[in-house]
């Protein structure tokens, strides 16, 4: 049981950590989830058939899940669970549902959107899915950072620089994200080259590193 009063398996499900749940199963670590946590687990695995079966017998769980929309979507986005995010959206979770409580440990301010979390956690496949599902792309978080700014920062000044790739920036730029407020050079040449192609001449870096 964790400090939040939920089991480790329930916590993993709520974080979208299907990888952790799969490890529990492979190692023979028994766990049983009931009610809302069983539904969240099915979402974490992207198991639409199981989701349907659960809701056929306990339809009221959908309302409970939707009441947790912003938190679940943000958590699943941060862990890179593409199938889980898609399942949540298919169930009616709004793509711009706010992560009301945020996450101070990971510098995610209150009210952030899933696309902010995905950009900051360097999860390009999640960003792509969220953009396809209609997520806002230029809305700033409460720290004034847009998804594009967070995607750049994730590559040059974050916990996740080992995931460094220009893909998140490329996806956002192709979706129409505004780039004229990004200072160059950023510290990552691949991103600088993408951004330079979008900026007016006065903003272009003259000597990219």
Q: Which long-range contacts (CB under 8 A, 24 or more apart) does 104-109 make?
A: 106/78, 106/159, 108/74, 108/78, 108/141, 109/141, 109/142, 109/143
- Average pLDDT, integer, range 86-105: 97
pLDDT at res. 208? 43
* pLDDT mean over 145-157: 96
Strand partners, 112: 99
Q: Is there a contact between 76 and 40 (Cβ–Cβ < 8 Å)?
A: no
Q: CA 126, 35, 118: angle at the middle one, nearest 5? A: 15
Which residues are registered as beta bridge partners of 108? 103
Residue 26 has phi, psi (to 5 degrees) of: -65, -35
Q: Which of 53-57, 145-149, 153-157, 203-207 has the least mean pLDDT?
A: 203-207
Q: What is the reported pTM?
A: 0.91
Distance of alpha carbon 15 from alpha carbon 11, whole angstroms: 6
Rounded Cα–Cα distance for residues 163 and 8 (Å): 26
The whole-number pLDDT of residue 5 equals 62
pLDDT band at 87 (very low <50, low <70, confident <90, very high): very high
Give the integer Cα–Cα distance in Å for 28 and 193: 49
């Amino acid at each position: 049981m964790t400090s939040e009063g939920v089991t480790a398996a329930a916590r993993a499900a709520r974080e979208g950590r299907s990888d952790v749940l799969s490890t529990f199963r492979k190692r023979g670590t028994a766990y049983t989830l009931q009610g809302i946590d069983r539904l969240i687990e099915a979402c974490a695995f992207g198991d639409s058939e199981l989701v349907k079966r659960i809701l056929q017998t306990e339809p009221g769980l959908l309302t409970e899940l939707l009441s947790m929309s912003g938190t679940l979507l943000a958590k699943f986005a941060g862990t890179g669970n593409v199938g889980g995010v898609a399942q949540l959206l298919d169930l009616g979770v709004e793509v711009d549902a706010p992560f009301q409580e945020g996450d101070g440990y990971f510098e995610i301010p209150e009210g952030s959107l899933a696309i902010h979390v995905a950009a900051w956690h360097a999860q390009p496949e999640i960003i792509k899915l969220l953009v396809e599902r209609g997520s806002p792309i230029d809305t700033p978080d409460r720290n004034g950072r847009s998804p594009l700014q967070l995607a750049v920062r994730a590559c040059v000044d974050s916990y996740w620089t080992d995931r460094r790739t220009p893909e998140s920036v490329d996806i956002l730029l192709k979706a129409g994200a505004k780039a004229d407020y990004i200072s160059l050079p950023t510290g990552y040449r691949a991103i600088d080259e993408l951004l330079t192609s979008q900026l007016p001449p006065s903003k272009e870096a003259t000597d990219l590193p």
